Amino acid sequence: MDEKLLAAATDALGSTGWDRLTMGDVADRAGVSRATLWRQVGGKEELRRELLRRLFLDYRESMWPVLTATGTGRERLRRALEVMCAVIDRHLALLSAFDTAFHETGLFDEPVESVVAPLVRLILDGVADGTLAPPTDAEEAGNLVFNTVCWPYVHLRRHHLWEPEHARGLLLDLVLDGMSTDPA
């Protein structure tokens, strides 16, 4: 799908929300005819599917360098959460419209890995190197970390209009201090 059309759709989505978004809005913002938009995109559901696919690809591609980097588990987990927040910022309109976006992996022909899996791996790396306290259940901890950062970050950015650095810094400090092996 044309990047210009997806950028126009994201822009329109941020202004109107999903329920009021029309394909005509997207065509107007992209500077194309409605017929061109329908030929290239299809309907509103195809547009949503493509926006979600872009979110998943961006997340996966952004996480890979963190997973293969050097450093302690805690350092790499912080970096992964910073990267996650950057991905959220790039897809903020979509995530504001669909709080189930990261659960919609069944929309795609190709398998989409769990968004929590990279965090679980980094938590286990941190436990192994002693920089993170061992959780009772690493998968559950990964889910908790993901959701503790993702959705408050979306809310603080979208509804409170906090700057990315401010929201990210406070959330990540809170989460990582809670997982620290050093209670002080």
pLDDT average, residue stretch 4-21: 90
What value does the mean pLDDT take over residues 45-54? 91
pTM as predicted: 0.90
What superfamily in CATH does domain 1-42 come from?
A: Homeodomain-like (1.10.10.60)
Torsion-angle region of 110 (φ positive above 0: left; ψ -120 to 50: alpha; else: beta): beta
| Angstrom distance (rounded) from CA 4 to CA 123 | 38
Reported confidence tier of residue 2, pLDDT bands at 50, 70, 90: confident
Per mean pLDDT, which range of 90-94, 106-110, 158-162, 163-167 is the poorest? 106-110
Query: Where do the H-state alpha helices sit in 17-71?
Result: 23-30, 34-40, 44-67
Place of tokens 């970390």: 145
Contact call for residues 131 and 74 (beta carbons, < 8 A): yes
What is the model's pLDDT at position 106? Answer: 66
CA angle (93, 9, 54) in 5-degree steps:
70
Q: Residues near 112 by Cβ (< 8 Å), separated by ≥ 6? A: 56, 60, 105
What is the residue extent of each domain of the chain? 1-42, 49-178
- pLDDT value at residue 184: 52
Q: What is the mean pLDDT of residues 33-42?
A: 88
- From 45-54, 85-94, 143-152, 173-182, the region with the lowest mean pLDDT: 173-182
Region of poorest pLDDT, from 34-48, 126-140, 146-160: 34-48
CATH fold, domain 49-178, is Tetracycline Repressor; domain 2 (1.10.357)
Res 181: pLDDT = 75
Torsion from C-alpha of 72, 180, 147, 85, nearest 10 degrees: -50
User: Would you say 10 and 55 are in contact if contact means Cβ atoms under 8 Å apart?
Assistant: no
pLDDT in tens, 102-148: 888 766 666 567 899 999 999 999 999 999 999 999 999 999 999 99
Average pLDDT over residues 21-50: 90
At 160 the pLDDT is 96
Band of pLDDT at residue 179, cut at 50, 70 and 90: confident
